[in-house]
Copies of this chain bind each other. A is one copy, B any other.
């Protein structure tokens, strides 16, 4: 595995891999790798012969400077994890390599109005901008994102379509702890009590799955029960519990062909998110979370 700090080195190494006839897979991360990230690399390996991972805590997507400085970092450990799961090239740039006198940004209407977009002003602009840069640097054939950050994944699919990036976005299912908590670098901030209480999130998704299996389609009814279940974990704040269409992430009154049920809640100062994709196939609804 090679580890580089500069854009120029990435370009030269990726060019060689391409000349060797290899397809390029790409997993962008902010580091502090866990099994969620390594599962993205596993997905990417099925689709391409050369694995690139970026590790970069992207300052411009944090709307809260405290959240940025608190974001956990451990590059040495990350490099060992990346090597173990078969990454070929890690790009770990410094702030200066990525942002000098930056004036250009990429942004999106509609898809970022609700869910996390409504609660983290500027967050998605920062994500779209850095991911556009990374796509132009790595020029991958496939880029893999996790379902856990569903608004990010769906809106990046839209960005790739709208701006004609020559690559395919793949969304890989959420990886969970044994008790159901979605893997996240932020989980380490939870104290034992918060960690226990946070399980109300997975309980609320399972409960919604049950209601849908029993034929319930009304967003109002499902969300009312989801919020009830969430409150059993006494979250410090529920940012949202929403049902939206997958296509444009706008609120829906009913479960439709393809919907997303998404929740965000604070446990102490730590904000956790999770979601479930509900899809209709031949009249049957399946839930992926």
A interface list, Cβ under 8 A from B: 7, 11, 102-111, 128-129, 132-133, 136-137, 139, 158-159, 162-166, 248
Q: A204 to nearest B CB, angstroms?
A: 30
Contacts of A104 in B (CB 8 A): 106-108, 128, 158-159, 162-163
Q: A54 to nearest B CB, angstroms?
A: 12
Q: For the complex, would chain A's binding face be called helix, strand, loop or mixed by DSSP majority? A: mixed
Contacts of A132 in B (CB 8 A): 106, 163
Q: A84 to nearest B CB, angstroms?
A: 29
Contacts of A166 in B (CB 8 A): 11, 136-137, 139
| A162 x B107 contact (CB < 8 A) | no
Contacts of A128 in B (CB 8 A): 104
Q: A164 to nearest B CB, angstroms?
A: 4
Contacts of A129 in B (CB 8 A): 163
Q: Which residue of chain B is the closest to A156 with respect to CB atoms?
A: B104
| B103 x A158 contact (CB < 8 A) | yes
Q: A11 to nearest B CB, angstroms?
A: 7
Residue of A103, A107, A166 with most chain B CB atoms under a 10 A cut-off: A103
The contact of A165 among B103, B136, B159, by CB within 8 Å, is B136
| A105 x B103 contact (CB < 8 A) | no
Q: A139 to nearest B CB, angstroms?
A: 7
Contacts of A110 in B (CB 8 A): 103
| A162 x B102 contact (CB < 8 A) | yes
Q: A16 to nearest B CB, angstroms?
A: 15
Q: A53 to nearest B CB, angstroms?
A: 17
Q: How far is the CA of A107 from the CA of B125 in the complex (A)?
A: 11
Q: 6 A–B contact pairs at CB < 8 A?
A: A103-B110, A104-B162, A104-B163, A106-B163, A107-B107, A133-B163
Contacts of A107 in B (CB 8 A): 104-105, 107
Contacts of A102 in B (CB 8 A): 162
Closest 6 CB pairs of A and B: A104-B162, A136-B164, A104-B108, A133-B164, A104-B159, A103-B109
Q: How far is the CA of A217 from the CA of B159 in the complex (A)?
A: 46
